[in-house]
Amino acid sequence: MEKPDNAGVRIPPPLYFLSFLALGIWQSSAWVQGKIGSPYMLAVGTIITVVGAIFLLKSVRKHETSGTNVEPWKPTTALITDGLHKYSRNPIYVAMAVTYLGIAIAASSLVAIVLLFFCLLLIRIFVIAKEEAYLEDKFGEEYLQYKEKVRRWI
């Protein structure tokens, strides 16, 4: 039987981030009680969220202009090694984590901040590990050389 031309990721990565963030905010945040919370935390969190969102959009756009799919359950048609990918093999997940962190700070949710660690652990095990194995199989030495030069996160 022929292997499918994708990483075999079953759960969309944004769903991990959204689930953990929602759980954390639900467990501890003034937002759940209909309050805004600390204006300082809201301002800092908003700035961090905007920065993360900009990097996320930039990373997604890079996939589009490179002619490859951003979704890990679809085939990767090109190996991206420039732009933000010069600094991180996973700039989309870094951007999602920064965006998550910004929202958690804006919500003043310590629980959501702590849960980010567990979210990233699951992303590493159930998403990145599969993607890396797939890219090694598909692009061989080219991907292995890229892995040696560029860190997984930042």
Question: Does residue 30 form part of some domain?
Answer: yes
Beta carbons of 112 and 28 less than 8 angstroms apart? yes
Question: Does residue 8 form part of some domain?
Answer: no
Beta carbons of 114 and 24 less than 8 angstroms apart? yes
51-89 pLDDT tens trace: 999 999 999 999 999 999 999 999 999 999 999 999 999
Which domain range does residue 80 map to? 13-149
Question: Which residues lie closer than 8 Å to 67 by C-beta, 6 or more apart?
Answer: 77, 78
Report whether pLDDT(2) > 90: no
Question: Does residue 6 form part of some domain?
Answer: no
Question: Does residue 96 form part of some domain?
Answer: yes
Question: Does residue 28 form part of some domain?
Answer: yes
Measured CA distances, 37 to 28, 43, 50, 73, 131 (Å): 11, 11, 19, 38, 39
Question: Does residue 53 form part of some domain?
Answer: yes
pTM exceeding the 0.85 threshold for the entire prediction: yes
Count of structural domains within the chain: 1
Question: Does residue 60 form part of some domain?
Answer: yes
Helix (H) or strand (E) holding 5: none
Question: Does residue 119 form part of some domain?
Answer: yes
